[in-house]
Amino acid sequence: MSTATLPASNKSWLDRLPVISHLRMSSGLQRGMLIAGLTLSGLFIITALFAPLIAPFDFAQSSDASGDFPRQAAPDSKFIWGTTATGYDVFSRTLFGAQTAMWVILAAVVMSLFLGVLLGLVSGYLGGWFDRIAVVLSDAIYAFPSLLLAIVMSIVISQGQSSLFGGVMAAAISITVVFIPQYFRVVRAEVMRLKAEPFVESAQVIGASPWRVMFAHLLRNATRTLPLIFTLNATEALLTLAGLGFLGFGIEPTSASEWGYDLNRAMSDATSGIWWTGLFPGLAIVLTVMGLTLVGESMNDLNDPRLRRFSRKKAKRITQSGQVGASK
């Protein structure tokens, strides 16, 4: 009971943006997790954007004016994270790796988002034979090992030879194929639930066409949980890319830097005590995945008022600082 209608629209649009609104309503441990996640993700994005400015060398540079780079050199003042067996600077490659990762995440998630949401909306609302076929197809894709599917896709798309664009797109499209069923499923389930809501029926009795109902009424209501899937899928996209690279289906080292590929090359180094070639790309993967996951999980908890916790301090501050929102 007592669902006082709280004024919400008088907040500025900035405060209503997904991540910022979450940050505002969080407290205690949940806030800590969210901030840690945001920091790591922010670091990843900044690195990706400014890699060419920060990195001392190019990702495929093995010599400069003073001659060839040493191979497998331990970290020193020039190569702060050492060099690889082919003479690349580990620090620069790790930074540029963030750029590749971001491209792949963006391309994969955006493509699967558009297709998945569209298919889910149509399939959930109209139902019928289209829905049945779409569900069977998405189940089939689910049943398929996603990495294997990604490998097949990358071979089909790039025939093993890959430039930066080709490599990124191969990875992104293969990930897209795996992700579409996820968005499809989520949106379809949400649409099926909303379909029975009075506001949809009230549009139907008015005589609104199915397309109008879908795009004017259902779309925005059905996509509430998408920022969450976005962050969680971003991590999966990154891991799939790394997996592809590690298995040798990724991007050639001369066309772009890629963490999975570097890890693969570092395998033989590890046995001979050369730790720096593997540690840094590995850490980059772990930290990026962790950052994105923390953001996603915190958003998930904060979206659900039952999972949201008020820290004792915040509760006290709110009870003492006047009564807002009581007016009805």
Partner 1 sequence: MTNSPVLNPEANAGTPEVLRVEDLNIDFVTDAGAVPAVRGVDLQVKTGEILAIVGESGSGKSVTARTALGILAENGASRGGVYLKGKNMLTLRGHELREARGRDVAMVFQEPSTALNPVYTVGWQIMEGIRAHNKISKKEAKARAIEAMRQVGIPDPEQRVDYYPHQFSGGQKQRVVIAAALALKPELIVADEPTTALDVTVQAEILQLLRDLRDELGTAIVIITHNMGVVADIADRVIVMNQGQIVEQAPVIQLFEAPQEDYTKSLLAAVPHLGRESASEGLAERPHQDAEVLVEAAGLKVHFPGRLGAPGFTAVNEVDLKIHAGEVYGLVGESGSGKTTIGRSIAGLNRITGGSLKVLGYEMAQFKERTFKPLREQIGFVFQDPAASFNPHLTVGECVAEPLAVHRDLNPPQTRAKVAELLESVQLPAGFANRYPHELSGGQRQRASLARALALEPKLLIADEPTSALDVSVQAKVLELFRELQAELGFAALFVSHDLAVVDQLATWVGVLFRGSLLEEGLGSKVLANPMHEYTQRLIASLPVPDPREQAQRRKLIERLNGS
Residues in contact with partner 1 by the rule CB under 8 A: 1-9, 24-25, 197-199, 201-209, 212, 216-217, 220-221, 310, 314-315, 318-326, 328
Q: Mapping DSSP to helix (H, G, I), strand (E, B) and coil, where does residue 265 land? A: helix
Instruction: Decide: 141 and 181 in contact? Cβ < 8 Å.
Output: yes
| Minimum CB–partner distance for residue 168 and partner 1 (Å) | 35
> What's the token pair of residue 112?
């699967």
Write the DSSP symbol of residue 311: -
| Minimum CB–partner distance for residue 22 and partner 1 (Å) | 11
* Cα R_g (the chain), whole angstroms: 24
| Minimum CB–partner distance for residue 8 and partner 1 (Å) | 7
Residue 144: Cβ within 10 Å count = 15
Rounded-to-integer distance, Cα 179 and Cα 112, Å:
6
| Minimum CB–partner distance for residue 59 and partner 1 (Å) | 44
| Minimum CB–partner distance for residue 219 and partner 1 (Å) | 9
Sign of CA dihedral 10, 14, 16, 20: negative
Residue 164 or 194: the one with the smaller Cβ distance to partner 1 is: 194
Q: Which residues pair with 64 in a beta bridge?
A: 67
Write the DSSP symbol of residue 83: B
| Minimum CB–partner distance for residue 306 and partner 1 (Å) | 9
Q: Measure CA 58 to chain center.
A: 26
Q: Which residues pair with 63 in a beta bridge?
A: 68
| Minimum CB–partner distance for residue 112 and partner 1 (Å) | 23
Residue 5 or 12: the one with the smaller Cβ distance to partner 1 is: 5
Q: Which of 102, 6, 25 is nearest to 298 (CA)?
A: 25
Q: At what angle do helices 128-143 and 164-195 cross, to 10 degrees?
A: 130
